[in-house]
Amino acid sequence: MAAQALDPLSKLVTVFGGSGFLGRHVVRALAKRGYRIRVAVRRPDLAGHLQPLGRVGQIHAVQANLRFKNSVEAAVAGSDAVVNLVGIMQQTGRQRFDAVQAFGARVVAQAAAGIGAPLVHVSALGADATSASLYARTKAAGEEAVLAAVPDAVVFRPSVLFGPEDAFFNRFAVLARMLPVIPLAGADTRFQPVFVGDVAEAIARAVDGTVAGGRIYELGGPHVRTLREIIDYILKITGRRRLVLPLPFGIARLQASVLETLDKLTLGLMPDELVLTRDQVTLLASDNVVSEAAIAEGRTLQGLGIQPEAIEAIVPGYLWRFRERGQFQQPHLA
């Protein structure tokens, strides 16, 4: 049963993590519908780029940290719906997987339950309580905590996101520009990249109240590709010839251990594109695709009436900047 529909013109939606990559698209989708949006972030002073996405006064940033319950409760006060987008790909300082993705998810869910507000929670397609990856286990723990506190919550598990400024296609394009050889862990691992705008639309529909709650939705794009196939596509789009060297997982873990150490020794000053963690290598051992059960039960983008965009329709529009001659160089797509 779908949640009660909201009237956008008179309703306030609090979005945790609204200044991030996915967050910007979610805020834009909600603003277009007319919602008033409270963006809860650790650094409101760094969220000014969201203001042009809506009308004057429509989008307002407030300070909140998922590690502090009082700040979360203050952020959701008076909200008609709550969206939690917060997640991290690697642990730095006090930003730990369990603190952000398990404890933090529970705190947001309990705060939403305390005021009776509908909740939309974004997890990840790799969430798995039995995984060897701490990232995947804490994502699963977050989902469990959310549904325990708000049984009618809508939970989304997107695959890797693509779109301008993404951390996936852009990362490998940077590596192709920097390195003559691309060492690749998980070359045969399958992915189902999904356009960030499609995920944002699904989240906005959940806020509208047109998505059935109490269910976990798996969001993937229209095509499944191995990581090696994705890298080959990036090389074609950017017009670069590079040797792709698949690595056994044992060697990849050793490489990740060295890179983690170097990142600590440089106090986190290594370029993000060069940082690889052992937990990320562990994640690469498992496919990241929508399950057959989700497809059969309609818990997908298509099941929500959204036709997902293919990477071919979006990615060339922002990876052209990695070509040696930019937009004036035509890619070799044969």
Dist CA 162 CA 160 (whole Å): 7
Dist CA 191 CA 172 (whole Å): 15
In tens digits, what is the pLDDT along the chain, a chain of 334 residues?
A: 345 677 677 799 999 999 999 999 999 999 999 999 999 999 998 888 999 998 998 999 999 999 999 999 999 999 999 999 999 988 888 889 999 999 999 999 999 999 999 999 999 999 999 999 999 999 999 999 999 999 999 999 999 999 999 999 999 999 999 999 999 999 999 999 999 999 999 999 999 999 999 999 999 999 999 999 999 999 999 999 999 999 999 999 999 999 999 988 888 888 888 889 999 999 999 999 999 999 999 999 999 999 999 999 999 999 999 998 777 676 665 4
Closest CA to 84 of 68, 58, 104, 103: 104
Return the pLDDT at 1. 38
CB 111 within 8 A of CB 72: yes
What's the pTM value of the predicted model, to 2 decimals? 0.93
Q: Which uninterrupted H or E stretch holds 196?
A: helix 196-208
Output the CA torsion sign for 62, 66, 69, 72: positive
Q: If 0-12 CB within 10 Å is exposed, 13-18 middle and 19+ buried, where does residue 238 land?
A: buried
Domains recognised in the chain with CATH numbers = 8-161+194-222+289-309 (3.40.50.720)
Q: What angle do CA 298, 299, 304 make, to 5 degrees?
A: 75
CB 131 within 8 A of CB 137: yes
Return the pLDDT at 95. 87
